[in-house]
């Protein structure tokens, strides 16, 4: 049991009665000041892993160990305990958010008197979740886990997952714009097309398409499109999904991608831990996916491991780390929930924004 703090407020001093009025002396001012320091209000609720895990209550675990293994990204160490302790409570929380949004939508329809042809809100629009974080931090695994867990709710919602990789400019375009060394930075994306894609889904369009990205060829796949048809829930995963919109040339504020999110998650860790995960993943890819002759990185299998890893360290130092520090990490405060990982890739603490 934790010891009480030494500067705990003093109990009220002895009361006295004067003319039938009870007078209670106040604690010393120093006690008020120390109590104020401990109770400083913040817009967040900070939780340990144990505190967060207890919030899952009796929510059943719908995934098997084999399913978790298939959803796990290369280098991630996620297991059933991690799913049970971290992602089941998150699934329960999101269920509450979706239910509350549905109730609010019903109230809005009643207010508008929408009977089918008026304002077009009676059918609702997808609940959109954003998942952000650095390269190699595990955000793709988080997004896939959420998709699997949310789809297994009793209501069996249709859950679609879209990554922002499909909205990177093609390699040819990046070269022409001088952005090849900035791939992954905000300017390397067709941000207007990405925002329009999510806006169309949020508007309730029956069918919306997106480009397809291949990690094998490290480029957009010509002629291929991903089709999304009115999902109940859409998960958008990517490095910069929480970036605020840039002002237009006329100086006016634009609508940004995150403005369409109903809930957002930021996967956080120390940069030095992410760097190690990035290097470990590169080494594993060199021995697996990079062996494919069609892989963009196949050339790194023809050099020594030391040479290949020096290239990976250069990529981290000149591209991924600067992007993390300049663009990705500063958006952490915009998230509704921050998952803070430790060096072992496991979530240790969480920060939830208050309503």
Q: Are 46 and 351 in contact (CB under 8 A)?
A: yes
138 annotated among ligand-binding-site residues: yes
Whole-angstrom Cα distance, residue 156 to residue 184? 34
Whole-angstrom Cα distance, residue 254 to residue 245? 6
136 annotated among ligand-binding-site residues: yes
- In this structure, the dihedral spanned by the alpha carbons of residues 171, 175, 177 and 183, taken in order and rounded to 10 degrees, is 60
Mind giving me the DSSP string for 281-333? HHHHHHTTGGGSTT-TTGGGGSS-HHHHHHHHHHHIIIIIHHHIIIIIGGGGG
Whole-angstrom Cα distance, residue 170 to residue 188? 9
- Which secondary structure element, helix H or strand E, spans residue 124, and what is its range? none
Nearest to 138 by CA among 67, 65, 82, 217: 82
23 annotated among ligand-binding-site residues: no
Whole-angstrom Cα distance, residue 52 to residue 88? 10
Six-digit token string for 141: 């695994």
139 annotated among ligand-binding-site residues: yes
Mind giving me the DSSP string for 209-260? EEEEEETTTTEEEEEEEEEE---SEEEEE-TTTTPPPPPPTTSPPPPPGGGG
Nearest to 284 by CA among 303, 301, 307: 301
Q: How many CB atoms lie within 10 A of CB 41?
A: 7
Mind giving me the DSSP string for 51-118? HHHGGGTT------HHHHHHHPPTT----HHHIIIIIHHHHHHHHHHHHHHHHHHHHHHHHHT--SSS
221 annotated among ligand-binding-site residues: no
134 annotated among ligand-binding-site residues: yes
Going by C-beta distance under 8 Å and a sequence separation of 6 or more, which residues neighbour residue 189?
Answer: 164, 167, 168, 169, 240
3-state secondary structure at position 338: strand
25 annotated among ligand-binding-site residues: no
Enumerate the known binding-site residues: 133-140
Enumerate the known binding-site residues for ATP: 133-140
């Amino acid at each position: 049991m934790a010891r009480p703090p030494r500067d705990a407020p003093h109990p009220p001093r002895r009361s006295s009665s004067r003319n039938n009025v009870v007078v209670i002396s106040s604690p010393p001012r120093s006690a008020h000041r120390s109590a104020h320091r401990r109770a400083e209000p913040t817009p967040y609720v900070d939780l340990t892993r144990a505190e967060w895990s207890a919030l899952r209550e009796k929510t059943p675990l719908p995934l098997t160990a084999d399913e978790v293994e298939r959803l796990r990204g290369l280098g991630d160490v996620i297991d059933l305990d991690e799913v049970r302790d971290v992602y089941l409570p998150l699934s329960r929380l999101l269920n509450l958010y979706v239910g509350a949004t549905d109730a609010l939508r019903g109230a809005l329809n009643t207010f508008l008197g929408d009977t089918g042809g008026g304002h077009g809100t009676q059918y609702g629009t997808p609940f959109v979740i954003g998942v952000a974080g650095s390269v190699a931090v595990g955000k793709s695994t988080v997004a896939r886990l959420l998709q699997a867990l949310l789809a297994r709710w009793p209501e069996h919602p249709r859950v679609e997952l879209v990554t922002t990789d499909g909205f990177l400019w093609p390699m040819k375009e990046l070269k022409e714009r001088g952005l090849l060394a900035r791939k992954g930075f905000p300017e390397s994306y067709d941000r207007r097309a990405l925002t329009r894609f999510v806006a169309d889904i949020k508007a309730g369009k029956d069918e919306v398409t997106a480009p397809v990205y291949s990690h094998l060829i490290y480029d957009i796949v010509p002629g291929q499109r991903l089709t999304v048809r009115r999902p109940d829930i859409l998960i958008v995963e990517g490095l910069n999904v929480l970036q605020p919109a840039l002002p237009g040339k006329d100086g006016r504020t634009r609508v940004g991608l995150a403005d369409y999110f109903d809930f957002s998650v930021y996967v956080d860790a120390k940069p030095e831990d992410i760097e190690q995960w990035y290097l470990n993943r590169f080494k594993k890819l060199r021995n697996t996916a990079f062996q494919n002759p069609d892989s963009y990185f196949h050339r790194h299998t023809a050099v020594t491991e030391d040479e290949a890893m020096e290239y990976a360290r250069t990529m981290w130092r000149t591209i991924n780390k600067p992007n993390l520090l300049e663009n990705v990490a500063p958006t952490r405060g915009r998230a509704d929930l921050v998952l803070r990982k430790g060096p072992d890739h496991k979530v240790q603490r969480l920060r939830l924004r208050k309503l």
